[in-house]
């Protein structure tokens, strides 16, 4: 069982040619060079990473690739949300073009959600689009951001304001790399796991409740099970609604409040932490709107607590900048911000308008 690949295939009905495999197995990174070589063919390979992941895994992958592909270069940038910016996008694309990137080049995003979103956006736009292979190295990226094709960067006016849909040609997930992840970053990813379960699957939610104390960076089979389950749930949604015209909006649970908190904190709150607080606040909103029963709210708050995730809005968040960020949200339409809200454990409602007074109460409780 240990050496078996768990493979989920994403098939996109609009264009079957763009279907791609998501492989999950311990030890996959050590063998990634041969998959990269197969995917790249005669084209050049550009490994994009941040300096932390570059030191831990990038250099080794680069040497392995250099032996099996025609041309290979490693490009890195400083870690953190601050790199999801036009400035870093400019620097990366300048280097790639300088190194002779062509339409048949392959970009490999090796890192967390920041690397995946930024390198993915580069791949989506460079020369009108080049192939992208995702090797996610944080829990958040493994169970959420590397699957589904959303890529992008932040703008002074808000989170993920410049972006594209650009599906990868394959995703390689190696849970072993999570062993080097700081605990705070591991927890950060658990918030997206709770989101996926809460939005889509009551059974997965129960599994998380029951296993919470045992979900650690070294929890081999349990971790693989949870990542695989989350990935297949997300893949199923992406297959039905690639461009987020309906169903996929359910995965924005926790993100309306979460994104505004991230921006209003000047990105000092990590994305997953903001999503965790967002889930708690939005669950309180859902109770006030009559969508969610009180006991379900208690379960949501309890599972976040058991996983060591934050639930309360930190003091020091500026109200005005929070409200401004909220109104700039992509989910803001003429009529106001349309929330995705929990409507039970494993069920969600989308496009719900929330009165300001209800939001205020939920933020303060």
Ligand X SMILES: NC(=O)c1ccc[n+]([C@@H]2O[C@H](COP(=O)([O-])OP(=O)(O)OC[C@H]3O[C@@H](n4cnc5c(N)ncnc54)[C@H](O)[C@@H]3O)[C@@H](O)[C@H]2O)c1
Binding site for ligand X (CB under 6 A): 50, 52-53, 56, 79-81, 84, 111-115, 117, 137-138, 140-141, 144-145, 148, 150, 160, 177, 180-181, 185, 188, 192, 271-272
- 271 catalytic, yes or no? yes
For the bound state, the minimum distance from the C-beta of residue 335 to ligand X, rounded and expressed in Å, comes to 25
- In angstroms, rounded to a whole number, what is the distance separating the alpha carbons of residues 129 and 154? 20
For the bound state, the minimum distance from the C-beta of residue 364 to ligand X, rounded and expressed in Å, comes to 26
Sign of the alpha-carbon torsion through 197, 19, 242, 274: positive
Q: Residue 359: which of 285, 254, 290, 293 has the closest Cα?
A: 285
CA distances 30 to 57, 137, 233, 240, Å, are 9, 13, 27, 33
CA distances 299 to 20, 283, 302, Å, are 36, 10, 5
Q: 265: which 2 tokens?
A: 């904190």
For the bound state, the minimum distance from the C-beta of residue 259 to ligand X, rounded and expressed in Å, comes to 8
**Residue for token pair 């736009």:** 125
Nearer to ligand X, 148 or 342 (CB): 148
For the bound state, the minimum distance from the C-beta of residue 3 to ligand X, rounded and expressed in Å, comes to 21
What does residue 82 show for φ and ψ, rounded to 5 degrees?
A: -60, -15
Per the CB < 8 A criterion, the answer to whether 112 and 140 are in contact is yes
Nearer to ligand X, 138 or 167 (CB): 138
What does residue 337 show for φ and ψ, rounded to 5 degrees?
A: -80, 130
Catalytic, out of 187, 224, 234, 270: 234
- 234 catalytic, yes or no? yes
- 150 catalytic, yes or no? yes
Nearer to ligand X, 117 or 282 (CB): 117
Catalytic, out of 2, 128, 214, 320: 128
Catalytic, out of 84, 150, 229, 331: 150
- 252 catalytic, yes or no? yes
- In angstroms, rounded to a whole number, what is the distance separating the alpha carbons of residues 315 and 303? 23
Q: Residue 77: which of 34, 43, 121, 35 has the closest Cα?
A: 121
Q: Are strands 6-10 and 20-24 parallel, antiparallel or unpaired?
A: antiparallel
Q: 270: which 2 tokens?
A: 């990590």
- In angstroms, rounded to a whole number, what is the distance separating the alpha carbons of residues 17 and 84? 30
Nearer to ligand X, 217 or 284 (CB): 217
Nearer to ligand X, 201 or 273 (CB): 273
Count CB neighbours of 316 within 10 A.
8
For the bound state, the minimum distance from the C-beta of residue 179 to ligand X, rounded and expressed in Å, comes to 8
Nearer to ligand X, 59 or 206 (CB): 59
- 128 catalytic, yes or no? yes
Q: Are strands 336-342 and 158-165 parallel, antiparallel or unpaired?
A: unpaired
- 3 catalytic, yes or no? no
Per the CB < 8 A criterion, the answer to whether 43 and 102 are in contact is yes
For the bound state, the minimum distance from the C-beta of residue 262 to ligand X, rounded and expressed in Å, comes to 8
For the bound state, the minimum distance from the C-beta of residue 258 to ligand X, rounded and expressed in Å, comes to 9
Nearer to ligand X, 186 or 339 (CB): 186
So which residues are the catalytic ones? 128, 150, 192, 234, 244, 248, 252, 255, 259, 271
């Amino acid at each position: 069982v240990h050496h078996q690949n768990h493979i989920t295939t994403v098939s996109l009905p609009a264009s079957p040619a763009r279907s791609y495999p998501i492989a999950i197995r311990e030890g996959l990174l050590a063998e990634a060079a041969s998959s990269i070589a197969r995917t790249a063919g005669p084209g050049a390979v550009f490994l994009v990473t941040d300096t932390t992941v570059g030191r831990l895994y990038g250099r080794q992958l680069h040497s392995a690739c250099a032996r099996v592909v025609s041309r290979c270069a490693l490009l890195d940038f400083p870690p953190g949300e601050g790199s999801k910016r036009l400035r870093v996008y400019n620097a990366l694309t300048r280097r790639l073009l300088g190194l002779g990137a062509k339409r048949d080049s392959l970009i490999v995003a090796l890192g967390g959600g920041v690397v995946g979103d930024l390198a993915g956006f580069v791949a989506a736009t460079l020369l009108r689009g080049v192939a992208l292979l995702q090797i996610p190295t944080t829990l958040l990226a493994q169970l959420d951001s590397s699957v589904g094709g959303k890529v992008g960067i932040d703008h002074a006016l808000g989170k993920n304001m410049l972006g594209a849909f650009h599906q990868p040609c394959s995703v390689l997930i190696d849970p072993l790399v999570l062993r080097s992840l700081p605990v705070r970053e591991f927890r950060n990813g658990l918030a997206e796991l709770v989101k996926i379960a809460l939005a889509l699957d009551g059974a997965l939610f129960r599994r998380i409740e029951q296993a919470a104390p045992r979900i650690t960076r070294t929890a081999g089979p349990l971790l693989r099970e949870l990542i695989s389950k989350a990935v297949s749930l997300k893949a199923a949604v992406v297959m039905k609604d690639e461009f987020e015209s309906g169903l996929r909006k359910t995965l924005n649970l926790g993100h309306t409040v979460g994104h505004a908190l991230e921006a209003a904190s000047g990105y000092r709150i990590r994305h997953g932490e903001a999503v965790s607080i967002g889930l708690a606040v939005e669950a309180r909103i859902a109770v006030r709107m009559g969508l969610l029963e009180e006991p379900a709210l208690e379960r949501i708050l309890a599972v976040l607590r058991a996983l060591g995730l934050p639930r309360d809005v930190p003091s020091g968040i500026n109200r005005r900048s929070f409200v401004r960020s909220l109104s700039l949200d992509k989910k803001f339409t003429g009529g106001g911000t349309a929330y995705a809200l929990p409507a039970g454990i494993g069920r969600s409602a989308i496009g719900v308008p929330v009165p300001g007074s209800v939001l205020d109460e939920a933020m303060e409780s």
